[in-house]
Structure 1
Amino acid sequence: MPKVLAQGKTVECVSKSNLRTILLQNGIDLYNDGAKVINCRGIGSCGTCAVKVEGKVSAANWRDRARRSFPPHSPTTDLRKKLPNLVLGDVKVTKFDGFWGQGSRIVWTPKG
């Protein structure tokens, strides 16, 4: 079973599990500041759940690519939205600051 490491927690999940769902079910903070109240609830339109994902996840879908093509995101960064990511193997997740999760300061890492 794949393992997801995020915010100091290690969570095992079934292959092809939705990363956003796995993180929420395990009490991992997905959103910064006001984005905790104002976000798209997983439909993939807002981009406030952007994180750095290292490991085996599904390829970015058209929604992820489209949202990252608009500021404050950029298609050239290694940030991904959590929504379209299906866990295919072990994954490490890092969250950055900023309303959209696009900042330069790390909020949490896989280890905490």
Structure 2
Amino acid sequence: MASDLQHYSIKLLMKYAESCSKDERKEKEAASVVSTLLKILHREDEIRLADESRVRQSCIGSLLKLASTSKHDRLFSEEDFISISGTILDEDISLCSYFGKCIHLNLMAGKLPLRYLA
């Protein structure tokens, strides 16, 4: 039950961030959600997770979805991208290709520096 609630809460946070990221006036709120999701993902602030793997997967999926949006470049710093990619490599190899596609599309659109190719 607690796992379902945490999973649902992350989904709601992601939906809110998606809607905020479409409005330049609300990008601080969207950036705050990204920050919260990163804290959950990296177990900061001693956040207790009911079903850690499920909640972390939900969190990673939410961050990836936000990273693939067209206006994400104001939400994620370079350090965020590096942090997320490192976590994905540790967690789930199947998500790596999806994240790689997100980075590739954003490189081609000129939204990320070329050092991501290294």
TM-score (norm 1): 0.32
Q: Which has the higher contact order (CA 8 A, sep 6+)?
A: 1
Higher helix proportion: 2
Higher strand proportion: 1
Higher-Rg member (1/2):
2
